[in-house]
Structure 1
Amino acid sequence: MAKQVTAVVKLQCPGGTATPAPPVGPALGAHGVNIGMFVKQFNEKTGGPDTKGLMLPVMITVYSDRSFEFKIKSPPAAVLIKLAAKIPAGKKQGKEVIPPDGKKGGKYKGFVLSKQQVLEIAKKKLQDLNARDVDHAARIIEGTARSMGIAVAAE
């Protein structure tokens, strides 16, 4: 007999440094999951240098026998954009640069991304985006950057 799914829990945890403290503990404890086992397995999978410290979305499927499986998704586009644009923590504005379209929106005005950086982010996010190809994914990432106030340089 197949296991019966009792819950699907969606969380965002820091890669490699998750702890049983909130939000992980209460969310999983309510479903009877062994929290220590989840934290240990999650930290082992995300302890690499490319994901350590990044907020990673994770979908945890909980079964009726209290066992679980989890799938780690790619970091949110906004996090990858901030890393690529080299926005320091707590910084809201860079040097005053007016985007090519003349609009001044978003809270990270003055920062610029190159087309190459946008393509790299699009390739990382392709499996999690609703996009038909890399070019379409790049347009989605550009839109996210523009909404944040980050200009995309036309190379």
Structure 2
Amino acid sequence: MSKTAGRLKAALKSTEKIDHSRKLRTNIPAGLAAPNPPLGPQLGQRNINIANFIKDFNERTADIKEGIPLPVRVKVHGDRTYDMVIHQPPATYFLMQAAGIQRGAMNSGKEVAGKLTLRHLYEIAKIKSQDPPLTLQTLQQTTQMLVGIARTCGIKIVREIDPDEYAEFLKERAVIVEEQKQELQAAKEAKMLRTG
């Protein structure tokens, strides 16, 4: 073995290995953390005391409406302690709640699932700018990011919305969504017949 290869092996042995399994990124519904899968096994793999984590999370999210999905980032230390950071709900959650829709568009470039005003977008941007990853961005950059996310969800940004007109739009949209669900169900059944 050459001297260079020997030095390389010695250097690799002396460097500290990075353990990426100690980081956990997941979405947990506010106030509804439970040891059931998928959360329980994820915590168990990282040697976190599941009961303490669930109790801690549910206490920290007690003032938030139950069921709202919250992105959680957990860093686990060697002594089984952890640092938990709870972010604001995802941008898609805020956008779909503000638009009054349950699901986005299946073909985002071709159909409109809902509408939002610029004021709604600005308020959502103010809330999302409190998230640790977005603290260094300006409010304008956060708003531009939200415009892109709204476009992928099929949400159209408008200056003003007439409530009566929008209620009629949502009724028409409900019929379209029901047709799409039936098409998906038919495609699923056809696939099961082919594979069965």
C-alpha distance in 1, partners of 2:153/2:66? 24
Secondary structure in structure 1 of the residue aligned to 2:22 = strand
Report the alpha carbon displacement of residue 56 of structure 1 after superposing the two structures with TM: 0.7
TM-score, normalised with respect to structure 1: 0.79
Higher relative contact order (CA 8 A, sep 6+): 1
Task: For residue 53 of structure 1, report the CA deviation from its aligned partner.
Answer: 1.2
Distance 1:84 1:146 in 2: 14
Structure 1 contact 106–146 (Cα < 8 Å) conserved: no
3-state DSSP of counterpart to 2:83: strand
Q: Structure 1, residues 16-35: CA drift from partner, whole Å, max 9, x if none? A: 11111112110110121110
Q: 5+ unaligned residues in a row in structure 2: which ranges?
A: 1-18, 161-196
| Counterpart residue number, 1:22 | 37
SS in 1 for 2:24: strand
Q: Is the 8 A contact 2:104 2:153 kept in 1?
A: no
The residue aligned with 1:97 is: none
**Greater share of residues in helix:** 2
Q: Which runs of 4+ in 1 moved over 6 A?
A: none
User: Given the two structures, how large is their TM-score scaled by the length of structure 2?
Assistant: 0.64
Partner of residue 105 from structure 1, selected from 89, 106, 109: 109
Specify whether residues 70 and 121 from structure 1 end up closer, same or farther in structure 2 by C-alpha distance, changes over 3 A only.
same
- SS of aligned partner of 2:109: coil
Q: Is contact 2:29–2:68 with CA below 8 Å preserved after alignment?
A: yes
Q: For structure 1, which runs of at least 5 residues remain unmatched after alignment? A: 94-103
Instruction: State the AA in 2 paired with 1:22.
Output: P
Partner Cα distance (1:27, 1:63) in 2: 15
How many angstroms does 1:70 deviate by? 0.4
Alignment of 1:117 onto 2:120: yes
Q: Which of residues 75, 81, 84 is equivalent to 1:61? A: 75
Q: Which has the larger radius of gyration?
A: 2
Q: Summarize the alignment of residues 117-136 of structure 1 with structure 2, pairs less than 5 Å apart.
A: 117-126=120-129, 127=131, 128-129=133-134, 132-136=137-141
The alpha carbon displacement at 1:130 in A equals: 7.2
- Could you tell me whether the CA contact under 8 Å between 1:105 and 1:148 is conserved in 2? no
Question: Paired residue for 1:154, among 144, 159, 163?
Answer: 159
* Alpha-carbon distance in 1 for matches of 2:83, 2:110: 37
Q: What code does the residue aligned with 1:105 have?
A: G
How far apart, in 2, do the equivalents of 1:41 and 1:154 lie?
Answer: 42
Indicate how the Cα distance of structure 1 residues 92 and 63 shifts in structure 2: closer, same or farther if over 3 A, else same.
Answer: closer
Q: Does the 8 Å CA contact 2:104/2:154 hold for their aligned counterparts?
A: no
Number of aligned pairs?
139
